[in-house]
A and B are shown apart, each in its own frame.
Chain A
Amino acid sequence: MDDFEPSVVAFLCNWCSYAGADLAGTSRLKYPANVRPIRVMCSGRVDPVFVMEALKEGIDGVLVAGCHPGDCHYQSGNYKTNRKIKLIKRLLSDLNVDPGRVRFEYISASEGQKFADTVTDFVAQLKEMGPNPLKEGCK
């Protein structure tokens, strides 16, 4: 499985994590190119359906990143995301899909390094897990 390159969708909050990813870029930090960022206005906007659709279509991992506790532009969106992700992970493990395919992180606008580290770590973890079983077939 050495040549397996996982594909990752990252839902990044507009106010913190997207700027953090931007900083990683402008700082010329190195991180795997497997990640496809999608900017959302708040991590709270990430409906479970987005995560499920991505996994169903064969994406190997979904990263959701939002502001640090207390920093949410909309006061509490990130706390609610935390709960939502907890529920999604619970559901995934009940359905016997590895809940590790979904990850939630707090990444601020100044944490370009954290974004790069998170992506590097997540991609390495997904490489170990192997491809999403939903990649094949017509289910």
Chain B
Amino acid sequence: MEGLILVKDGDIASGCNELFKTFLTSGKLEAILVSQETPNGKMAFPALISDPEKLRSNILSPILPVSEASEISRMTINKGSDKPVGVVIRPCQVRALTEIVKLNQANLENIVVISMDCPGTMDVNTFSNLPEGKVPTDIIMDHLLKGTDIDQYLRSSCRTCKDPVPMNADITIGLFGVDLGSGFLVQAHTESGERLLEGVKLEAYKGEREKAIAKVRGGKDAKREAFISSKKEIKGIEAIADFYDKCVNCHNCMNACPICYCKECIFHSSVFDSDANKYVHRAKNKGIMKMPDGALLFHITRMNHMILSCVECGLCEQACPSNIPLMDLLIPVAENAQRELDYYPGKDPDEKLPMVVFREDEYRSVGEK
């Protein structure tokens, strides 16, 4: 099921907001989790809203302050919802959600996933400190309508996004290949999506969506390729150590990551603690020992633990107080690792995680020199 929803004056955000309102007023959804701007417009946060009157969502607001997938995990990890709850999240977060469901960290029972074509998001600081007169939503609308280049505003992971169009959503709000001056596209991909759109007035859609998506993808893919090949120089252990030099061991990247989920992280445990004699012994090993010494090990281990499920949302980089461009290293490494194990995170909900399955006939690394 798909069709256009017409809006007045090209006000897509209000049009979507009205649509979400009807979901609540008709009782089809008990509540909806959607990003909502703070009253001063300087920030936006996901909010779980049950009162339609309180709904002031703006899906065009280009910001992703926290992982929405993590919030859905927080809500559903102990028990899924008894009544339908809608979640309006970005494509990278749908992919992250797919991954954390595989990791048994979220329960999608009665969760209706609504996602949208994503033009990209800004860093929290860019968003809230835009020059006087610039409105984030207008910048995005300008980009969507006239194709203005907005890369200067976007986070690096959004500039090189590999999937700006959602997969595995129940409902997609289409912005690409749609005449946004008159309305936006909605597509229901599943039964629960169709149930939600029942009774909503839809006009026939005759645009060339596939073509428009291919164009957006093409542009992003080219940037991604250029990005990856420009990062070849961060290789060799010296370069890697230099890369993480500014790390202050705050572990914000880990907390911001939707995939890093362990409740008891090995790096928060006492595994690496020992007594003074041992420290001195370790110092004697090399004659010098950095204190605390865990940063490099932490990053490489974190990489090893979650790289196969990395959806490249870039929240780790956004959370870093030292502004380490973490994606510079993560994207090329993730690309290689995922290709090696033939896995595309977030694509197929039924495909098992590569580290929990095996084929008996694969012994390639055994005895490898």
Residues of A within 8 A of B (CB): 47-49, 52-53, 56-58, 69-70, 76, 79-80, 82-91, 94-97, 99-100, 103-106, 118, 125, 133-139
Interface centre among B238, B300, B333, B355, by most A CB within 10 Å?
B300
Residues of B within 8 A of A (CB): 235-241, 266, 282, 285-286, 288-290, 296-297, 300-301, 303-305, 307-308, 332-333, 336-337, 340-341, 354-356, 358, 360, 362-369
A94, B358: Cβ atoms closer than 8 Å: no
A48, B365: Cβ atoms closer than 8 Å: no
Q: Inside 8 A of A82's CB, which chain B residues have their CB?
A: 358, 362-363, 365-366
Contact pick for B369, options A48, A103, A106, A133, CB 8 Å: A103
Q: How far is the CA of A79 from the CA of B364 in the complex (A)?
A: 11
A139, B290: Cβ atoms closer than 8 Å: yes
B290, A49: Cβ atoms closer than 8 Å: no
A49, B266: Cβ atoms closer than 8 Å: yes
B363, A69: Cβ atoms closer than 8 Å: yes
Ranked nearest first, the 4 interchain pairs of A and B with the lowest CB-CB distance are A79-B358, A139-B241, A48-B304, A96-B235
Q: Inside 8 A of B240's CB, which chain A residues have their CB?
A: 95-96
Known: A49-B301, A85-B365, A90-B336. A137 touches B286 (CB 8 A): yes
Q: Inside 8 A of B235's CB, which chain A residues have their CB?
A: 94-96
A139, B237: Cβ atoms closer than 8 Å: yes
B365, A94: Cβ atoms closer than 8 Å: no
Question: Chain B's nearest CB lies how many Å from the CB of A26?
Answer: 24
Q: What are 28 inter-chain pairs, A to B, with CB distance below 8 A?
A: A49-B297, A49-B304, A58-B286, A80-B358, A82-B362, A83-B354, A83-B355, A83-B362, A85-B365, A86-B365, A87-B304, A87-B308, A87-B340, A91-B304, A91-B307, A94-B333, A94-B336, A95-B300, A96-B235, A96-B237, A96-B239, A103-B367, A103-B368, A103-B369, A104-B366, A106-B363, A138-B286, A138-B289
Q: Inside 8 A of A96's CB, which chain B residues have their CB?
A: 235-237, 239-240
Q: Inside 8 A of B341's CB, which chain A residues have their CB?
A: 83, 86-87
